[in-house]
Structure 1
């Protein structure tokens, strides 16, 4: 029996489903929330950039090269990739389907190891995190036997 995991995610929420075979439907395994990704950027950092001395008449200020919301999205993608890797090492699934929003898909892919990436059979760049299970199953009929 082949177990398929389906990860439905965006930068602030993710749901992990499993399909245990034909006529078994989807079963929700876990739900992940990353509220920091939903915060305004100004709430994620201190109120002013730090100051540093420069070789000249004035002083400069340090501005981070990464936007705080982008950093939080990377953190969440790393957390999800670790969860997928843990499932792979424990043989919890043999096949993986990614249903991830377009901007977040690149972060997920860059954090996934090659072994997990080899288990990915289908990818959908859509944000179905707010979709019902019934709606989701209709869109996944083409790649799994529900």
Structure 2
């Protein structure tokens, strides 16, 4: 019997579902929340970008961070989810994986998947389904061809 995991996520919340086959009902395996991803960048960082005063100039140079604080939170959450998926695969808890995540969070998540997990991804679609109740989600997932472009 091939076990399937389905991850429904956006940058702040994720639910992991499992089922023994596409005909079986979805079972909630885990819920992950990352409230920091919902905060404004100004609420995440306590400092302004750094400044430099040069010796002979009246103007200073300003150093911008390479990645803003909010994007770092999104990346951290993607790392957490990728680690959970890698752990489940290592334990033999699933054979195939479907990913549904908001855009651009799906890209952040896929970039952090291990090569082993990436080989088990059967379907990945940029769609935020986190607000759907379980019965509506199950109905939408019955025909994954609806998500193919």
Counterpart secondary structure, 1:130: coil
More moved, 41-50 vs 3-12: 41-50
Aligned residues: 143
Q: How does 1:1-146 map to 2 (within 5 A)?
A: 1-21=1-21, 23-54=23-54, 56-57=56-57, 58-143=59-144
User: Displacement of 1:55 after TM fit?
Assistant: 5.9
Gaps of 5+ in 1: none
What is the TM-score of this pair, normalised by structure 2?
0.89
TM-score (norm 1): 0.90
Matched with 2:147 is none
Give a deviation string over 1:19-48, Cα, whole Å, max 9, x none: 123543000010000111100110111142
Q: Deviations over 1:83-141 (max 9, x none)?
A: 00000100010010111112111101100011101101112211010101111111111
Between the aligned partners of 2:117 and 2:47, the Cα distance in structure 1 is 40
Change (3 A) 1:111 1:56: farther
| Segments of 4+ moved more than 4 angstroms | none
Instruction: Specify every segment of 5 or more residues in structure 2 that has no aligned partner in the other structure, as ranges.
Output: 145-149
